[in-house]
Amino acid sequence: MENCNMKRGFFFLRDCDYPAHQSCSSCGKSFCNEHLRLKPGISAPFCLDCLGKTMQQSIQGKDKGVSTRDNYDDYYYDTAWCYGYRSNYYSSGSYKPWYFGSVNADDSDFNDSDIRVFDAASESDDPDAEAFDPEANVFDS
DSSP structure string for the chain: -PBP-PEE-SSB-EE--SBP-EE-TTT--EE-GGGEEEPTTT--EEEHHHHHHHHHHHHHTGGG-THHHHHTHHHHTSHHHHHHHHHHHHHTTS---B--SSS---TTS--HHHHHTTSGGGS--STTSPPP-TT--TT--
Our CB check for another protein shows the closer of 1 and 138 to be 138
Q: Which range of residues in 23-31, 35-43, 52-60, 98-106 is near another protein by CB under 8 A?
A: 98-106
The reply to whether 62 sits near another protein by the rule CB under 8 A is: no
The reply to whether 115 sits near another protein by the rule CB under 8 A is: yes
Residues in contact with another protein, counted by CB under 8 A, come to a total of 53
Q: Which residues bind another protein (CB under 8 A)?
A: 8-12, 14, 73, 77-79, 81-82, 85-86, 89, 94-96, 98, 100-103, 107-110, 113-115, 117-120, 122-124, 126-141
